[in-house]
Amino acid sequence: MAFLSDSAKAPRAASGGAAVPSSWQVWRYRLKVASREPTTLIGVLTALLFTYLIVVPIISIVLDSVRVQFGHERRLGKDFGDLTLYYLDRTFMSPVSVDLFWRPLFNTLSVAVGAILLSLLIGTILAWLISRTDMFGRRWFATALIVPYMLPAWTFALAWTTLSKNRTVGGQPGWFEALGWAPPDWVAYGRFPITIILALHYAPFVILLFGSALRRFDSQLEDSARILGAKRYQVAMQIILPLMRPALMSSMILIFAKCLGEFGVPYVLGLPVKFEVLSTSLFRSIASRQTGVAGVVAASIMLIGIITLMIDARLVREARRFVTIGSKGSMNRQSRLGKLRLPATGFAATIFMLSVGLPLLTLFLSTVMKLPAQFTLDNFTLDYWIGQDLHTVALQTGVLLSPDLWAAAKNTLMIVGLASLASGILGLLVGYVVIRTPVRVLSVYLRQVTFLPYLVPGIAFAAAYLSLFAVPRGPMPALYGTVTILALALMADQMPYASRAGISAMTQLGKDPEEAAQIAGAGWFRRMMSIVIPIQKGSLVTGVLLPFISGIKGLSLFVILAVPSTDVLTTYSLRLVDYHYTQAANAVVLIIAAIAYLGTLAAQKLTKTNLAEGLGS
């Protein structure tokens, strides 16, 4: 033991007979110190829990991809569970691989790249207008332009179909069609609308990240260049842009990672023209019980996700090198727009209308009008909300009177509520253990394992859960179709945010208040109840509320794991879409959007935090 080397050398005249302790004495002492408080025990228990809930499912689905699945024993001439390369071959090399993997991959990449470019274009301009110019209504726009991110992405997808649906799918005509212009397929479905919608949905990322980088940018750097004779565009190209690069890269990568796991939008808009991305391909493999192939696709999605976010982590680390130089002299100087002031405001307003106003208005109108795009008084109705005895095959009442909605709402509240409550509390506990435990390995492991789901897109994570919990294993019964699996998956999926919130809260708290209580004579439990939790009340509320909001609007986890009896609001509305109950579906989506929006506002009010910090939830 290194810590004894000095005492061995040092003169020990006064230390009455102290000799070097034997190693078992050292271990006994350490054990005593470590087990004195439940911190380490809790740490070990949570570490085990998250290994089971996060690491094991991921391993399980990776194993699925290289092992013979049920039903393929005869074809492959091997026993169930034997190692095989069949699924890898089928997904990557066989004639069907184009449909299973390569085209979806290409589509995913092309949609993501398109969405990134478009959102960068819109986002950087808006960020600059909001943070560095004298555009009208900057403050209002600063909040308003973030709203698209608070709404579920497929809100826009549904609005888009409502507007531009054509005869490729049945049901009520779209608004444009009703007005006499039938949009061609490429406008109505597939790559084009998906790209636009994702771009509008994720532009807030750019506005937030790029905007905060712009605000932190030191105007003196700009001034120095100007004094040395640089022209405006030279300053922009040679000074501002290079310094903004990390923020831009970071938002690009975040958007990419988000697009990778996006399910709702491509599902609604891609299906009619068989436009598949990786997430829908995965969904189809699972729906058609192709477990092995699903494993391969899910593992591929995870791999791409992990690589992307590793690149991001590296970029962030590199960015820190020169961000820290950004001195205190930072002044938020505004450029005068002059003649462009009005057009600039118009641009921001247009984007707001396109990304918030139009979709929400469309959805809302569609739920109160019998025939699309006919603005006569007798065409308006509240039947879709509160009607009774309607002449339809199913859903003979307005959606608000339908027991299915309330069942779904109840499920949502229960599942999402339970999961977010659990993740909030566990997040705080993890934070506590990570900061306090004397066992370093435990701290590092907990920090990393709870971060892992962040690297894995929700739909792949759900597939992993399915792979592990669909059949009974050991003492664990089969969980598929239960509320439990949904709650567990959601909780695990939210742990990155919850544990990050917990860790940062505990770091901020420091250990002094707790040690003071310890000195005053308070044991561990007492300190938790009267000191730590009361002080951390605020962050505990955020740690519960943020996962709750993101769970309410989340779709990709549920779409894989939910069955009709465990419908939540999102899957319920998706089911309504599938049955072409467009108005009811839109109404449900509006309800979700309202909850998500109000919840976010409440969370911000309650905790006085900025949305930028909750980014990515």
Partner 1 sequence: MPTINLRGAQKNYGVNSANAVSNLDLEIRDGEFMCLLGPSGCGKTTTLRMIAGLENLSAGEIRIGDRVVDSIFDGVFVPPEKREMGLVFQSYALWPHLTIERNTDFGLRLRKLPKAEREARVEKVMQALDIAKYRDRYPSQLSGGQQQRVALARMLAVNPGVLLLDEPLSNLDARLRLEMRAELKRLHKEFKTTIVFVTHDQWEAMTLATTIAVMNEGTLQQMGTPNDIYDRPANRFVAEFVGSPPINILSFDKKAKSDVAKEAEAYLSNRYPGLLGIGSVGIRPEALSYATRKEDVPPGSFSGKMVVTGILPTGGSWILELKSDNHTLFLTTHALPRLELGEKVRFCAPPEALHVFDKDGQRIAEADKLLRSTKLN
Binding site for partner 1 (CB under 8 A): 1-4, 6-7, 10-12, 14-16, 18, 21, 25-26, 28-29, 32-33, 36-37, 440, 510, 512-513, 515-523, 526, 530-531, 534-535, 537
Q: Are 103 and 181 in contact (CB under 8 A)?
A: no
Task: Closer to partner 1 by CB, 26 or 239: give it.
Answer: 26
**Minimal distance in Å, beta carbon 542 to partner 1?**
17
Q: Alpha carbon of 377 to those of 52, 176, 368, 371, 374: distances in Å?
A: 58, 20, 11, 11, 9
Least gap, CB of 493 to partner 1 (angstroms):
32
CB nearer partner 1, residue 336 or residue 537: 537
d(CA 534, CA 575): 43
Q: 250 near 264, Cβ under 8 Å? A: no
Tokens standing for residue 101: 């993997």
Question: Which ranges constitute the DSSP H helices of 290-402?
Answer: 291-323, 341-352, 358-368, 383-386
Instruction: For partner 1, give the closer residue by CB, 37 or 185.
Output: 37
Give min distance, CB of 332 to partner 1, in A: 28
- Min dist. Cβ of residue 39 to partner 1 (A): 12
Residue 509 beta carbon to partner 1: minimum distance, rounded to whole angstroms = 9
> Which two structure tokens, joined as six digits, stand for 375?
């603005």
Angle at the Cα of 143 (from 137 to 146), degrees rounded to 5?
125
- SS3 category, 335: strand
Residue among 138 and 436 whose Cβ is closer to partner 1: 436
Phi, psi (rounded to 5 degrees) for 67? -125, 150
Judged by beta carbon, residue 390 or residue 520, the one nearer partner 1 is 520
In angstroms, what CA-CA distances link 12 with 6, 9, 22?
A: 11, 9, 17
Grouping H, G, I as helix, E, B as strand and the rest as coil, residue 617 is coil
* Cβ nearer to partner 1, comparing 18 with 325: 18
| Minimum CB distance to partner 1, residue 510 (Å) | 8
Nearer to partner 1, 74 or 537 (CB): 537
Distance between CA 254 and CA 246 in Å, rounded?
Answer: 12
Nearest residue (CB) to partner 1, 231 versus 526: 526
483 with 415: CB under 8 angstroms?
yes
Please report how close the Cβ of residue 432 comes to partner 1 at its closest, in angstroms. Answer: 17
Distances (CA, A) of 325 to 128, 212, 213, 224: 22, 16, 13, 15
We find the least distance from the C-beta atom of residue 42 to partner 1, in angstroms, to be 17
The whole-angstrom separation of Cα 366 and Cα 590 is 11
Size (the chain), residues: 617
Closest CA to 152 of 429, 364, 356, 339: 356
Q: Which is nearer to partner 1, 537 or 608 (CB)?
A: 537
C-beta of 534: minimal distance to partner 1 in Å? 5
Toward partner 1, which CB reaches closer, 3 or 233?
A: 3
Least separation in angstroms between residue 24's CB and partner 1 is 10
Residue placing its CB nearer to partner 1 in the complex, 17 or 338: 17
Q: How far is the CB of 30 from partner 1 (least distance, A)?
A: 9
Task: Tell me the C-alpha to C-alpha distance, in Å, between residue 5 and each of 16, 18, 24, 300.
Answer: 18, 14, 17, 51
- Please report, as a single letter, which amino acid is at residue 67: R
Q: Which is closer to partner 1, CB of 29 or CB of 102?
A: 29
Report d(CA 285, CA 101) in Å as an integer. 11
| Three-state SS letters, 54-76 | HHHHHHHHHHHCCECCCCCHHHH
CB 293 within 8 A of CB 252: no
Closest contact distance (angstroms) between CB of 423 and partner 1 is 24
